[in-house]
Amino acid sequence: MPVEQVYLIRHGETDWNAEKRWQGTIPTELNSLGYQQARLLAQHLSPISFSAIYASDLPRAHQTAQALAELSQQTVQIEADLQEVNVGILQGHTGDELRTRYPDIFAEWINGSMDFAPPDGESRRDGQIRMARIFDAIVARHDGIVAMVSHGGTIRLLLRMLFSDHQAIQDDQYTLPNTSYSRLVRANDGAWTVHELGVTPHLSASQGREDQQRVL
């Protein structure tokens, strides 16, 4: 039986997330809150029997997946193609810094073009193609339920490709908080549907997270 469900999971918080600093493919690690979020996510999803758990090779994603794998007695399988979009020279800076240092390049990226690539980086389209390729490869390897721990940008790009007729997804009318997950279910005809989108039921109100965006 082929894969029936996929959990697309964004990694936990890093110091750069808290500073609103662009990470891209920089190998940042979880901060203390990020580790706590990952543990809460793992506890929440512990009743699920995952057939495989995958993660980007960036530490923040691998560390998030490791918390999930430890409770399910699995090994995290690393796939570099689950990495965040490489935004080149924009990486490592805050938005305010980029408006000063690289105003034209930053404005072009913020404009949302799928084909613009910052110097030393990749375009959104290239990131989307990469993410779709590894998504298809992973679901072809397994059955049951699979978890993929990735990054906000690449998860959004994958969702856009999978759900071209879903207006909320195409217009980015949702959020993907740290350790949120989006649950995809495959119908008998092979088509994917979104049953949960960017949800964080494992995070408490004290962490300032809005719970439960659902697309049914």
84 is an active site residue: yes
Which entry of 11, 62, 151, 202 is annotated as an active-site residue? 11
Which entry of 13, 79, 84, 122 is annotated as an active-site residue? 84
Label residues 55-75 b or e (16+ Cβ within 10 Å = b).
Answer: bbebbbbbbbbbbbbeebebe
97 is an active site residue: no
Please choose, from the candidates 80, 95, 23, 41, the residue with its C-alpha nearest in 3D space to the C-alpha of residue 207. 41
Using a CB cutoff of 8 Å and minimum separation of 24, what contacts does 187-194 make? 192/6, 192/162, 192/163, 194/159, 194/163, 194/166, 194/169
Q: Which residue matches tokens 């949800």?
A: 199
Active site residues: 11, 84
